[in-house]
Structure 1
């Protein structure tokens, strides 16, 4: 994608989740609309920056678990976001340099930065797919993805902090089922999701209004449905900061400080 092509696709007047996330993490790849939206959410939920930092820590822990304890060597990371510390391929390839990673995002700015900055270990491979989570067929049929990942061998499907941007009318459960149906037994689903369980009603109403973009906060039971038919890895579906976090700095953030759930499960 040329500079002119991606610039023509970026609407800097509308907040984008990846750029707003970048702003909360202290990055510089965001615009006024992203910062205004981020500040509006932070004004009602001051712990939002704790939540996004903990989401990155969960990614690191989950990928470390899969690469070191399970032996997964392929990762499909959808909703990649802008590059920051501990990207999926960095964590996986630090353990197993031959690991192969396919990143997927629908923000052209993310793809430009990813292709420039996320370089693979020579033993492994990375690819960057321009697609939307809601179009699993396009993702799975992408020729670069097919050249990078062997879908007859186990793949870890990473859906971190992205499913809450898919409203009910887009049937996120069907989207996840279609993605998992393309993966063999021994693959894994890794997911995290914002929840309404711990947020004040006025913030839930504000987020649900659509002024910060489409999406839907979900309860623990609604999030757990994404893992139906899979074998949950201990400790199951838990508040984000609690998933296998004994080695993290203590005390851990509370469930109300992250307002997100996380889980990892195996396809059988």
Structure 2
């Protein structure tokens, strides 16, 4: 049997070789993901005063009204961004996945550009929009440095992802079914309500949960556009890291954010398997 060799490891060309390669790749990926997670978990258990392992940071986080409120704000903002982005993306997704044509290709290209746009440029752009809008009297003064500015920038950041994912879902619907519906006189709204939505609502919920994962831990938006009256978890943990004894508290908040972020997609995947 021909053999391809790496230092200390021999891989067969058959099923056993592919199986070994797969296991090695899985172990390496698990180590890549697990090592930082394990280090953060260990740091969260350290005593802030340097007295070994105590778990005091977890007790402090659970009993701190300030930390709980910051985490709640992050969850609320992440949910709002995910919901609004997903709903507003539906017309764009319909144009890309169902209508097609040159307009759809232009929209898709613009969405890809927005998706890949440097976050710093996007944040600075929204800062200038809010500043100019208030100076010209087009926007009320309170929107500058507020949760409204943060929400707008968050939707800007995640709407392209929502539209592209939903367009893929719409594109999976058989074109013959859509053509038949049009020939029978169905309007675009009827096609969406009767054909597209029943077949894609699970995907809509799953893509929204993915957006929530990213939005709930957003850092730039709350830091540069948000309000001190609306402090989120990322700002709370940054303040904790600026103190010499605050790293265990910041690690604890990071783990709490991770749990909050992964729960929705895990629930969606579990529900899909049961269905």
- Pairwise same-fold verdict (TM > 0.5): no
Q: Which structure carries more strand by proportion?
A: 1
Q: State TM-score, norm by structure 1.
A: 0.27
Higher helix share: 2
* RCO comparison, higher one (Cα < 8 Å, 6+): 2
TM-score scaled by structure 2?
A: 0.26
